Chain A
Amino acid sequence: MKQEHEDLGSDAERFERIIGVLDRRSVRLPSTVRAAVMASIRAERSSAWSRAWTWLAAPRLSPLAAGLALAAGIAVLLLLRPAVPSGTPTAPAGSVTVSVRLVFAAPRASRVAVTGDFASWDPKGIPLAGPQGDGIWAVELKLPPGLHHYVFIVDGSEWQPDPNAPSQVEDGFGQRNSVLLVPEQKAS
């Protein structure tokens, strides 16, 4: 320790006496801290569900407009073909999945990934292949039918919603998620 304080010269020993009296006992916070944190989380969770339900229940687009928006699909290109589960980490074995192609334009990115509820919001995400000549990144996922929330991760740190997704929602944490509706497949 003394060597460490050589820069203090003759004051080194005095400094060590000073730090010798510092109180190093651990501090135990009252249980009210835990209770308050969890109460806040439950309240936010409840509020987020409430907002989600309101969003789902509220009419926004006419059926025709909604149909056009979905058909326009644009960046969320659904390749609606039945898929055989093949080790896809996002769907339980044996479940019916649908191939979904996500594309994202990021000409200057060195890497792009996608994460969402189907990937347990893994911050590393599922990598997109690319870029193709026009700066387009793409990935094909096998997802179960239903609503999925997701975002793209650019260069490992920048989370961006899909600008071409038919809709976005607040995630309850101050950010926005893109929403993808994977329809049920009709038996042929």
Chain B
Amino acid sequence: MYDSVVMSDSPTDADVIARVLDGDTERFAILVDRYQDEFARYAKYMTGSVDEAADIIQESLIRAYRSLRRCQDRANFKGWLFRIVSNQCKTHLARRRRRPVEPLSGEAAETPSAEDPSADAEAGDVRRKVHQALQELPTDQREALVLKYVEDLSLAEIAEALSTSVSALKMRLLRARRELLAKLQGVVT
């Protein structure tokens, strides 16, 4: 098993992939450890649920293993895996389109401090409504906003991840910002 095997301190993704494709499939656990939480926040924002995010990340990693030979730029395994996660999120969302949207839990808002519980409760309410509004955006707009303002990626990085141009991305973000503002009219002033 991978845990009991000595390997160089921090093998690159490309090194690990080569070993896995050589038959040492247990090494794939290194990539699982490296990336399962990396995209969890993104998946949570896309689905609105940690449980669903876990399902998506799990399925994405299995798909990545099955298609590993097709990862042509092994040094950019992370970007390749992100595209799988992104596609899985969209497939998942399309399947549950008719299900009611559940608000993303804002754990911080649910634990008011003793000093000013009313202020914390109000902030928590705003937070919940912001996350709810985000969930109601079209998938492509929500994705662009999450990558920009939660994952803190640059426009160039997002454009590459989404296989689009920076100019098209800017338009998507502009529409997303306006849509979010409209949904939160009267909530955030």
Contact = CB atoms under 8 A, between A and B. Distances in A.
| Residue of A21, A120, A156, A157 with highest tally of chain B CB at under 10 A | A21
B161 interface: no
Interface of B: 18, 21-22, 25-26, 28-29, 32-33, 36-37, 40-41, 44, 50, 53-54, 57-58, 61-62, 65-74, 104, 106-108, 123, 126-127, 130-131, 134, 145, 149-150, 152, 174, 177-178, 180-181, 184, 188-189
Interface stretch (A30-38, A96-104, A140-148): A30-38
B66 A44 contact: yes
Given A33-B57, A37-B62, A38-B28, A18 B184 contact: yes
Interface residues of A, number: 43
B73 to A, nearest CB: 8
Interface stretch (A4-12, A72-80, A130-138, A162-170): A4-12
Contact of B189 (A7, A14, A26, A41): A14
Contacts of B189: 14
Contact of A173 (B54, B69, B104, B181): B69
Nearest to A40: B62
Given A8-B178, A29-B54, A174-B66, A18 B29 contact: no
